Structures are given as structure tokens and as C-alpha cells.
């Protein structure tokens, strides 16, 4: 469960602002699960009744003080003072308040971990510009609809932001802070939109279903458990081993449905020196193409290819005893496993308890071109009836022996962020669904009926009536998720394995922890404070937005 603060405060205000009818609907049957998500918002609704802010009852100064003091004291010491402290601390080095470095830490955090020196000026210029841009945007958002802000937003900030985002993506990987900012940008773009869309779809679909409450409970449940629990759960889903991770079990299953599974991964020819004195054909591995007969073979002389490097388990049950004297029209031979555990057979000879390898693709090659293709039968025999003369190379293509497909590296550096976002969606879709469902339930039936009577199709009703009416709720959900996503920490901390994966999936909040407290980053609280300030600046627009809303409401 994440902090409900932003969620409900935003929702609550939005409702009051827009006269959103959600509150009346929150208690309706379908939104019983509104419980955790909607309740905070709905509970605060009565303030509408006395919009001017309660006028005071009489109360002695001492009494007032006693009521207020504990909260104010805690807020001042543990929240307000830290903001100032962190801002100041970010101007001093890791040593402490003894060494003033100015904006050095803000430069430092953008400095390349990889290649110090050359590109640094560019790096921190972009970094510093980023901080400034965030500040300007925050100020613009805070001052509201003042004309310069509106103009500035479109004229200056939009292209600037676009350029900076582009810059971040170019410089990504240069320093962990850039990687973190890039990932935060990805999160903000993808996660809130995905969760809101999914929540809307679920809310609409469950409207007409009898057991919608059960469905909502199921989807909403992940909100109650910790990010750690959700993280562990998804770590298991994404496990690389297809026998443990269900994601890869599905991936391998799908892959093997469309592509034949590799029959004999890792098999190779028995080394030629072990074949001396036998009539087996030496087999060499040639790069890229697979296994080939080391010498030219001709029709009439059976080609006996002795393979090893395979556990007998891999030999299918259908395999019969290898054909000791393969016969067949044209060029023919046998491919068998020249090995039986626990019995000392003769190397290079087809012993009576050795199995043929069925289903191997065999190619006949002449002058570097494949002239015919066949497959071995149950006893490992193959033949090319059409090839009755000439000399050939027999090739067993690499596809027979490639390592088995082991699925997708979900938590590897390239996919980790996407995989974590999926787990985030799993957690938060219920929140969006419940709030949006409450909004839908509150839409006046008359509006929908009127549209239907006018001949609108269901889709048109949805698009032109439903969506505009729930838009305020959608905005609230979206904004709430955006703020939440900016501060995302636990999932990124828990799900990807430490090392390259976590480094490639890192976010600002995680970097802040790692640099200040983590085992890998040492304890540079100067840079840590700078990162905390960056995180704070990112949410400043939301803060000013909240305050502005509140003031407007009060006046």
C-alpha cells in the first residue's frame, strides 16, 4: 500500500471543484470495494456543506495550543526542517558541513561514472539545465493561468522539455542519474496512462456483470499487500528458469509450439582419435553449419556417425536400437549415441544396447551446396535414394544441436523496467478501477437514456456522454498515479537482481537511497541530498497545484 495522501487529496479536491457526482455514487452496490481507494475521497466530501471554512467556536489560547502543538511540532522538526536541511546539505560535500561545494553535488551526480573527463561538461550542462527546467515548470504550474505562464509553457518549456528529454535519452547510461531520470520519464509516460486505461476498461466491463464485486475484490487486493510482497511475487513470475517462472514457461511453450524444440542440444561427434580402427565416419564440428563428416563419403559405404555429449535422457522413448549395419538405397548411414551409461561399449562401433537418434535432419552436401535433405528414422538410419553416385559431405545442421530456447530474460538490463512496470500495473489497476467505477455509477441515467433515445449507438454514448462525464475522475486518477510513479522505489529495489539489471532500471528515489545509505554507493550524503532535492523539485508542481486548488476553493 502506498501512501494514500496524494490520491485522496487530489481526488477529493477535484470532486469539489467539478461538482463531480462521485460522492453520491461511492456507496452504491457496485463500488463496495471503493473501500480503500475511494473512501478517503468520499469521506472528505462533507466539507462541501460549509465551503467557507468553519467559523470558530470560542476556545482559549492554551486549549488551541494544546490541540495544535503535537502536530505542528512533529511537522516542524521532522518534515519542514529536513526540507531546509536537505537543501542546505546538498551544497556541501560528502565530508559534511565543513566543505562547501556550492552546486558541485548537482554537477557530481550527472558526472559520468563510466568515462570521466571528456564529455563531462556536456553532461552536467544538460543535467543543470534539467534542474532549472524543472524549477521553471514548477513555478509556471504554481503561478497558474497567468498569461506569461501559459505562453511560456507552449513557447519555451515544451520544446525545452522535449530537447532535454531527448538529451537524457542520448546521455542515458553515461551516469546513473541520467539512467534514473530516463527511467522516471519512461515510468511517467507509460504507467499512469496504462493503469488509468485498464482501470477504465475494467470499470466499464464490470458495470453489466453480476459478480462485479468479486472481480473488483480480486483486482483490488494487490493494493493491500506490500510492494515487497508484490515484488517477490513478480520476481518469481519472471524467473529465468521456465520450470519456476510462469512468464518463461509460457514463452517457452509458445516458442516450442511454433518452432520445433531442439531435439539434441549440445551433442557432438566422438573425437576422431577415439575412432581409429573402426569403420565409423569421423565427424567434425564446423562453425555455423553444424556437424559434418570429416571426409568425403560415397554411396555404397554406410556413413556411421557416432555422437556423444548427450545424456541418454535426451534420447526420445521412440528411439530404437541403432542399426548396426545400415542399409538403404543410395547414400545412407546411421546416426547414433555412441554411449551407454554404466556399460563399456566399443567406441565407434554400434553396440547392441546403443540407441539410434531419430528425427535428426541430415543434409547431403556436394561442392558446398545442399543437394538433398532427409531425416533419421527410429533406429537412427537415413538414406538418400536419389544419390547413387559421386562423393558427398554429410551434414547434420546446427539446428539439431542448438541449446534449447530458455525463454526471455525478463529481468535482464533491457527488459527490467518494462517488467517492473507490469507489476506496478498489477498493483494499481484496482485503484483506478474502483475510483472510475464510482464515477461511472454516479452518471445520471437520464443523460445516457437521452443519448440513446436520440439514436446514438452504445459506442457513441460511451464516447460522447460517458467519457466526458467521468473525465474529472480520470484526471484525478492519472495525476495521482503520476505523483506516485515519480517516487517509485520499492519495486525497482526488490524485483531486478542487483547488478546490471538494477542499474539499468534504476530511478531517482533508488539512486537517492543507494548514494546516501546503500552498500554500493558508499555514503555520500551531499550527492544524496542533491538527489532528494531533485525528487522534491519534481513534485513541486503537484504541491503548488494542491495549494492553488485549495485556496481557490476557500475564497
For residues 89-148, which are near other proteins according to CB under 8 A? 89
- Helix 416-441 vs helix 34-43: angle between axes, to the nearest 10 degrees? 60
Residues β-bridged to residue 308? 268
Cell reading at 125: 550542462
133 Cβ partners below 8 Å, 6+ apart?
157, 160, 161, 164
* Contact set for other proteins, span 464-483 (CB under 8 A): 483
For other proteins, which is the closer residue by CB, 49 or 114? 49
Q: Is 287 in the site for other proteins (CB under 8 A)?
A: no
Are 411 and 492 spatial neighbours (Cβ–Cβ below 8 Å)? Answer: no
Residues 338 and 354: their CA atoms lie apart, in Å, by 6
Are 410 and 247 spatial neighbours (Cβ–Cβ below 8 Å)? Answer: yes
Q: Is 67 in the site for other proteins (CB under 8 A)?
A: yes
Q: Is 501 in the site for other proteins (CB under 8 A)?
A: no
In whole angstroms, how far apart are CA 397 and each of 284, 365, 530? 12, 11, 58
* Contact set for other proteins, span 228-267 (CB under 8 A): 228-229, 232-237, 239, 241-244, 246, 249
| Closest approach of other proteins to the CB of residue 460, in Å | 11
Residues 168 and 184: their CA atoms lie apart, in Å, by 11
Q: Is 64 in the site for other proteins (CB under 8 A)?
A: yes
For other proteins, which is the closer residue by CB, 242 or 282? 242
Q: Is 224 in the site for other proteins (CB under 8 A)?
A: yes
For other proteins, which is the closer residue by CB, 79 or 118? 79
Q: How far is CA 547 from the centre of its chain?
A: 34
Residues 303 and 353: their CA atoms lie apart, in Å, by 19
For other proteins, which is the closer residue by CB, 110 or 202? 202
Q: Is 418 in the site for other proteins (CB under 8 A)?
A: no
Out of 17, 74, 316, 520, the only residue in the binding site for other proteins (CB under 8 A) is: 74
Stretch of residues binding other proteins (CB under 8 A), selected from 110-118, 226-234, 271-279, 316-324: 226-234
Residues 495 and 252: their CA atoms lie apart, in Å, by 21
For other proteins, which is the closer residue by CB, 80 or 467? 80
For other proteins, which is the closer residue by CB, 258 or 459? 459
| Closest approach of other proteins to the CB of residue 426, in Å | 7
| Closest approach of other proteins to the CB of residue 445, in Å | 9
Out of 11, 14, 20, 26, the only residue in the binding site for other proteins (CB under 8 A) is: 26
Helix (H, G, I), strand (E, B) or coil at 469: helix
| 154: DSSP letter | I
- Helix 212-220 vs helix 34-43: angle between axes, to the nearest 10 degrees? 90
For other proteins, which is the closer residue by CB, 125 or 406? 406
Integer-rounded Cα Rg, in Å, for the chain is 34
Task: Output the CA torsion sign for 201, 203, 209, 214.
Answer: positive
* Contact set for other proteins, span 28-47 (CB under 8 A): 32-36, 38-40, 42-47
Q: Is 18 in the site for other proteins (CB under 8 A)?
A: no
| Closest approach of other proteins to the CB of residue 458, in Å | 6
Q: Is 314 in the site for other proteins (CB under 8 A)?
A: no
- Helix 508-516 vs helix 525-554: angle between axes, to the nearest 10 degrees? 140
How many degrees, rounded to 5, is the angle at CA 450 between CA 446 and CA 453? 135
Residues 200 and 180: their CA atoms lie apart, in Å, by 30
Out of 14, 20, 86, 157, the only residue in the binding site for other proteins (CB under 8 A) is: 86
| Closest approach of other proteins to the CB of residue 45, in Å | 6
| Closest approach of other proteins to the CB of residue 72, in Å | 7
Q: Is 78 in the site for other proteins (CB under 8 A)?
A: yes
Q: Is 277 in the site for other proteins (CB under 8 A)?
A: no
Cα dihedral 158, 159, 164, 165, rounded to 10, equals 70
Q: Is 163 in the site for other proteins (CB under 8 A)?
A: no
For other proteins, which is the closer residue by CB, 22 or 379? 22
* Contact set for other proteins, span 514-543 (CB under 8 A): 516-517, 525, 528-529, 531-533, 535-536, 539, 542-543
For other proteins, which is the closer residue by CB, 164 or 482? 482
Amino acid at each position: 500500500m502506498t501512501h494514500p495522501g496524494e490520491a485522496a487529496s487530489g481526488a477529493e479536491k477535484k470532486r469539489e471543484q467539478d461538482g463531480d457526482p462521485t460522492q453520491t455514487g461511492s456507496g452504491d452496490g457496485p463500488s463496495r470495494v471503493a473501500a480503500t481507494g475511494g473512501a478517503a475521497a468520499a469521506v472528505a466530501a462533507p466539507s462541501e456543506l460549509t465551503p467557507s471554512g468553519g467559523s470558530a467556536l470560542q476556545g482559549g489560547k492554551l486549549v488551541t495550543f494544546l490541540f495544535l502543538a503535537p502536530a505542528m511540532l512533529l511537522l516542524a522538526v521532522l518534515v519542514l526542517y529536513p526540507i531546509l536541511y536537505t537543501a542546505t546539505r546538498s551544497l556541501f560535500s560528502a565530508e559534511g558541513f565543513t566543505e562547501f561545494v556550492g552546486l558541485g553535488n548537482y554537477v557530481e551526480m550527472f558526472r559520468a561514472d563510466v568515462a570521466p573527463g571528456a564529455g563531462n561538461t556536456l553532461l552536467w550542462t544538460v543535467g543543470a539545465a534539467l534542474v532549472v527546467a524543472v524549477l521553471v515548470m514548477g513555478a509556471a504550474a504554481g503561478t497558474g493561468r497567468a498569461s506569461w505562464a501559459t505562453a511560456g509553457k507552449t513557447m519555451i518549456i515544451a520544446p525545452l522539455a522535449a530537447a532535454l528529454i531527448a538529451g537524457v535519452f542520448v546521455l542515458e547510461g553515461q551516469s546513473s542519474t541520467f539512467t534514473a531520470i530516463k527511467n522516471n520519464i519512461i515510468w511517467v509516460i507509460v504507467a499512469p496512462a496504462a493503469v488509468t486505461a485498464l482501470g477504465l476498461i475494467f470499470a466499464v466491463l464490470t458495470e453489466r456483470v453480476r459478480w462485479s464485486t468479486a472481480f473488483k475484490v480480486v483486482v483490488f487486493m494487490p493494493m493491500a499487500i506490500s510492494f515487497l510482497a508484490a515484488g517477490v511475487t513478480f520476481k518469481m513470475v519472471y524467473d529465468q528458469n521456465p520450470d519456476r517462472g510462469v512468464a518463461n514457461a509460457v514463452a517457452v511453450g509458445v516458442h516450442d509450439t511454433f518452432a520445433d524444440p531442439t531435439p539434441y542440444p549440445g551433442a557432438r561427434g566422438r573425437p576422431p582419435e577415439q575412432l581409429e580402427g573402426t569403420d565409423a565416419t569421423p565427424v567434425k564440428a564446423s562453425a555455423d553449419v553444424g556437424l559434418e563428416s570429416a571426409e568425403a563419403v560415397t554411396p555404397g559405404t554406410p556413413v556411421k556417425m557416432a555422437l556423444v555429449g548427450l545424456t541418454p535422457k535426451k534420447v526420445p522413448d521412440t528411439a530404437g536400437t541403432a542399426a548396426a549395419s545400415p542399409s538403404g538405397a543410395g547414400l545412407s548411414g546411421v546416426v547414433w549415441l555412441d554411449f551407454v551409461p554404466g556399460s563399456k561399449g566399443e567406441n565407434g562401433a554400434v553396440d547392441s544396447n546403443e540407441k539410434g537418434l531419430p528425427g535428426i535432419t541430415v543434409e547431403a552436401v556436394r561442392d558446398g551446396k545442399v543437394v538433398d535433405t532427409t531425416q533419421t528414422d527410429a533406429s537412427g538410419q537415413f538414406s538418400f535414394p536419389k544419390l547413387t553416385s559421386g562423393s558427398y559431405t554429410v551434414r547434420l545442421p546446427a539446428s539439431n544441436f542448438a541449446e534449447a530456447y530458455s525463454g526471455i530474460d525478463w529481468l535482464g538490463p533491457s527488459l527490467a523496467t518494462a517488467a517492473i512496470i507490469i507489476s506496478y500495473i498489477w498493483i494499481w489497476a484496482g485503484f483506478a478501477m474502483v475510483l472510475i467505477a464510482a464515477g461511472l455509477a454516479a452518471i445520471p441515467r437520464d443523460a445516457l437514456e437521452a443519448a440513446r433515445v436520440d439514436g446514438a449507438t452504445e459506442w457513441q454514448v460511451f464516447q460522447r456522454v460517458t467519457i466526458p462525464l467521468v473525465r474529472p475522475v480520470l484526471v484525478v486518477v492519472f495525476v495521482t498515479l503520476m505523483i506516485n510513479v515519480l517516487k517509485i522505489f520499492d519495486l525497482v529495489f526488490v524485483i531486478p537482481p542487483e547488478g546490471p539489471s538494477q542499474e539499468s532500471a534504476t530511478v531517482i528515489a533508488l539512486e537517492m537511497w543507494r548514494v546516501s545509505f546503500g552498500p554500493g554507493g558508499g555514503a555520500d550524503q551531499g550527492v544524496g541530498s542533491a538527489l532528494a532535492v531533485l525528487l522534491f523539485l519534481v513534485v513541486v508542481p503537484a504541491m503548488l497545484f494542491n495549494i492553488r486548488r485549495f485556496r481557490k476553493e476557500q475564497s
